[in-house]
Amino acid sequence: MAEAAWAAIHLQNITKSFPGVLANDRVSLALRSGEVHALLGENGAGKTTLMNILYGLYRADAGEIWVKGRKVNIRSPRHALSLGIGMVHQHFKLVLPHTVAENVALGLSGTPFWAPTRAVARRLGDLSDRYGLPVDPDRRVWDLSAGEQQRVEILKALIRGAEVLVLDEPTSVLTPHEVGELLKVLGRMKAEGHAIVFISHKLDEVLEAADWVTVMRRGQVVGTVRAEETDKAALARMMVGREVVFRLTKKACTPGEAALVAEDLHVRSDRGSLALKGISLALCRGEILGVAGVAGNGQRELVEVLTGLRRAERGRVQVLGQDLTRASARRLSDSGVAHIPEERIRMGIVPGLSVEENLILKRHHRPPFCRGGILRLAAARRFAGQAIEEYRIQTPSARTPAKLLSGGNIQKLILARELSGSPALVIAAHPTYGLDVGATEQIRELLLRQRDAGAGILLVSEDLEEIMELADRIAVLFRGEIMGVVPAGEASLEEIGLMMAGERRAAAAAGGGR
Ligand SMILES: Nc1ncnc2c1ncn2[C@@H]1O[C@H](COP(=O)(O)OP(=O)(O)OP(=O)(O)O)[C@@H](O)[C@H]1O
Ligand SMILES: [Mg+2]
């Protein structure tokens, strides 16, 4: 029998437009059981839209979907699940105050009316063992790390009988170790006969995990290739239509006056425990200080205390020689501190406001956008137009609500707002999170240019490669303390790795020197 007949799912000539955008233009894709199919493409290329159609969230304007040889008209996610199609979204949709078991039980058919969560906990246990997805059914979701929440989302789909599982950028929220674990889980799902769609901007992962790679550009399929018959450079070229440089050229840094001095910072986490236990840092203008570490070792609290979103219990923060220890977020922003937050939807934008309004969000009360208490619309428009162009934000218009942009374009919007005012100090958490290879290259270059123009940049990231490439010095956080600070030129991956696991610098250097 022809190979195509075995395809679990066939998408044929799917077309979907939104006001001002052709998001999918006659897209065809075949998904087979026991295979991982990666979807690659620039920000706004139409990946999420296509999968939302398969999952019944959007209706295609034209085209057909075939499931196991039957043409179907998928009306809702519930319908998609009944056809064996599950999806884990780019931004999770769990109910935070509920426990894991309650979240999984929600709307699940076949659970007993009496003590539903107990039955679910049992089924969850079986599935976690089978696929290697450890979770504690009694923990509350707000208490879980991003990686743990993702495991719950995957289990939620599996328990509902998903044979086809769509994972939309599952790795962008994970630590490198968790990425490795997830790729193993994908392997097990393959072996069990699932078909998996894997959306990612990280070419190495795609090449490692996928059997097939489909590249999209501007709503169309550029091509589908076998992973083993392609490489990074070829995929990047297919994606952006030009060569992409993976190595930046970085000039030596010339540190200026102090941009940030933090002394003896003690900060508590949401749970009340000490997340930062007396850390001290100094960062000059014209310098990038990388903060490496496994997520959950105090990075979030560090970023929040430096941007006025969290109170320091003890210690001092000086920005450009000014004591701003307990200053508000607004005051810090007005003093020239830019903030690229970790959670872009919750903290980076006001989803219902337009792209333009989001772009001037922090400066609408200052000139040139405000004079004599009056908002200068023309100035705001001009600024927004320039930012959209410079940062290549894909949006039908400046007045489109920010929440309608693709994930990567929301990130570009935040970067444009924060970086365009020539800030003196940039506190950046995962700045290239969710960006495609071309945009990542553009933002990394931009950060280097801002450094050369005299900005001090604190770069918090779990992406060691990014830190090694951009930072002038690297500090490693472990359980709320700094294990050491290393000049980037002298840092070895091994030494940083040892410090990330809790060895202090002297010991790590000795261990790494063998
Ligand atoms: N509900 C919607 N209303 C209007 N436009 C939308 C909607 N959803 C998506 N779009 C637009 O469709 C296009 C494709 O978006 P999509 O989210 O599919 O991109 P993507 O490939 O997933 O990008 P990213 O890598 O940034 O996540 C974008 O221009 C986006 O703004
Ligand atoms: Mg997307």
- DSSP secondary structure of 389-446: HHTT---S-TTSBGGGS-HHHHHHHHHHHHHTT--SEEEEESTTTT--HHHHHHHHHH
Which ligand places an atom closest to the C-alpha of 51? 1
Residue 22 belongs to domain with CATH number: 3.40.50.300
For residue 90, report the distance from its CA to the centre of ligand 2, in Å: 7
Structure confidence by residue, pLDDT tens digits, 232-255: 999 988 988 877 766 777 888 888
Percent of the chain with pLDDT over 90: 59
d(CA 488, CA 252): 11
CB 503 within 8 A of CB 483: yes
Query: Residue 471 in contact with residue 488, Cβ under 8 Å?
Result: yes
- 172 touches ligand 1 (CB under 6 Å): no
* 102/79 same-domain check: yes
Residue 459's domain spans which residues? 247-336+423-514
Q: Does 111 lie in the same domain as 219?
A: yes
Residue whose Cα lies nearest atom 28 of ligand 1: it is: 44
- Is the model's pLDDT at 259 over the cut of 70? yes
275 and 416: one domain? no
Judgement on whether residues 195 and 295 belong to the same structural domain of the protein: no
Note whether 38 and 206 are within 8 A (CB): yes
Q: Check pocket membership of 407 for ligand 1, CB cut-off 6 A.
A: yes
Provide the pairing of β-strand 425-429 with 456-460: parallel
CB 414 within 8 A of CB 340: yes
Co-location of 82 and 162 in the same domain: yes
Could you say which of 186, 219, 240 is where a domain stops? Answer: 240
Ligand 1 atom nearest to CA at 49: 18
Give yes or no: residues 122 and 228 share one domain: yes
What burial letters (b/e) apply to 173-189, b meaning 16+ CB within 10 Å? bbbeebbebbbebbeeb
Last residue of a domain, one of 221, 240, 259: 240
Q: How confident is the model at residue 511 (pLDDT cuts 50, 70, 90)?
A: low
Regarding the beta carbon of 260 and ligand 1, being less than 6 Å apart is answered no
The per-residue pLDDT for 505 is 81
Asked whether 404 lines ligand 1 (CB < 6 A), one says yes
Q: Are residues 444 and 401 in the same domain?
A: no
Same domain, 153 and 181: yes
Residue 275 has pLDDT above 50, yes or no: yes
Number of domains in the chain: 3
Residues 6+ apart with CB under 8 A from 170: 88, 150, 182, 198, 199, 200
Confidence of residue 119 (pLDDT cuts 50, 70, 90): confident
311 has a pLDDT exceeding 50: yes
Nearest-CA residue for atom 19 of ligand 1: 44
261 lies in the same domain as 355: no
Give the mutation target among 16, 27, 47, 49 for probing the ligand 1 site: most ligand atoms within 8 A of CB: 49
- The confidence band for 463, taking pLDDT boundaries of 50, 70 and 90, is confident
Are both 300 and 228 inside the same structural domain?
no
Write out pLDDT tens, residues 341-378.
887 767 788 889 999 999 988 777 776 777 777 777 78
**Cβ(43) to ligand 1 under 6 A?**
yes
Q: What is the mean pLDDT of residues 311-318?
A: 95
End position of a domain, from candidates 194, 216, 240: 240
Supply the mean pLDDT for the chain.
88
pTM above 0.95, yes or no: no
Q: Is residue 84 scored above 90 in pLDDT?
A: yes
Q: Provide mean pLDDT across the span 428-451.
A: 89
57 in the same domain as 9: yes
Please count the CA atoms within 13 angstroms of the CA of 134 that sit on its side-chain side.
3
Ligand at shortest distance from the CA of 25 = 1
What is the mean pLDDT of the segment spanning 97-115?
74
For residue 382, report the phi and psi dihedrals to the nearest 5 degrees.
-65, -45
Ligand nearest to the CA of 436: 1
Centroid of ligand 1 to alpha carbon of 47 (angstroms): 8
395 and 433: one domain?
no
Q: Measured between alpha carbons, how far is 506 from 514 in angstroms, rounded to an integer?
A: 13
In ligand 1, the atom with minimum distance to the C-alpha of 47 is 21
